[in-house]
Amino acid sequence: MTRRCFITVSCSCSIIALVLSGCVGEVMQQAQQAANREQLFNDLKALGLARFSFHDANQRFPNSWEELESAGAPAGLRQKLEAEGYTVVMGMQIRDFMAGTSRSMVVFRRDAAQKGGTVLMCDGSVHQLTADEFNEYWKDQEPTMKQAIFSEPPASAAEAPAGGRSSPPLPPTGNSSASPPPPG
């Protein structure tokens, strides 16, 4: 009888250990996701600061990643953003953002119109937007900016130009006013 109790207790301890390890694993995964989101926010803030630092020195925004990195953008950020499906608008002027720099998006995921996501605004602020919010902001983007984004055919990260803007996003869907690039 003593032997039987030991087996029951042993099995109960094993089950409790498995349940606890599952809970700890879930908590660890959530903590890692929060840390990744925080790192993305910090990287985008640093990118925004580098854009303005470059603008202060040159009276224009950078046209390439090399120019951004020369102004202090974090090393390796280009590859990280491209791998995560982000578009970075390059070569725009302040006059191109007539809708207001606080509503003009310069870095966003190509699927943000469908899923939402983290965006860097022209004024340097970083926001987490829902898909509906992204599409509302997208409607306010100036035609010059939309044309700059859609001026190249979509390319994979491997085919992205060495020094220009990242791959353009897919056109937003739903109630947006974006038009796809002209054929040819």
Write the Ramachandran bin of 155: left for phi over 0, alpha for psi from -120 to 50, otherwise beta.
Answer: beta
Which of 14 and 163 is assigned the larger pLDDT? 14
Domain membership of residue 173 (yes or no) is no
Tens of pLDDT, residues 23-79: 777 878 888 888 988 999 999 999 999 998 998 899 888 888 999 999 999 889 999
The per-residue pLDDT for 20 is 66
pLDDT (0 to 100) of residue 179 = 37
Inside any domain, residue 137: yes
Segment 85-98, tens digit of pLDDT: 898 888 777 666 65
- What pLDDT band is residue 130 in, cutting at 50, 70 and 90? very high
Which domain range does residue 16 map to? Answer: 7-159
Q: How many CA atoms lie within 13 A of 162 on its CB side?
A: 0
User: Of 182 and 79, which is predicted with more confidence?
Assistant: 79
Residue 93 lies in a domain: yes
* Inside any domain, residue 179: no
**Per-residue CA distances from 67 to 63, 70, 73, 117 (Å):** 7, 5, 9, 26
Q: Return the pLDDT at 42.
A: 92
Inter-residue contact 142 to 104 (CB < 8 Å):
yes
- How confident is residue 152, by pLDDT bands cut at 50, 70 and 90? very low
Query: What is the sign, positive or negative, of the torsion defined by CA atoms of 21, 25, 31, 35?
Result: positive
Whether 107 is covered by a domain: the verdict is yes
- Domain assignment present for residue 98? The answer is yes
Beta partners for 105?
121
* Range 104-114 average pLDDT: 88
pTM of this structure:
0.65
In a domain, 177, yes or no: no
Q: Give the model's pLDDT for residue 181.
A: 34
Total domains in the chain come to 1
Is position 176 within any domain? no
Alpha-carbon span 132 to 176, nearest angstrom: 10
Q: What is the percent of the chain where pLDDT is above 70?
A: 63
pLDDT value at 155 more than 50: no
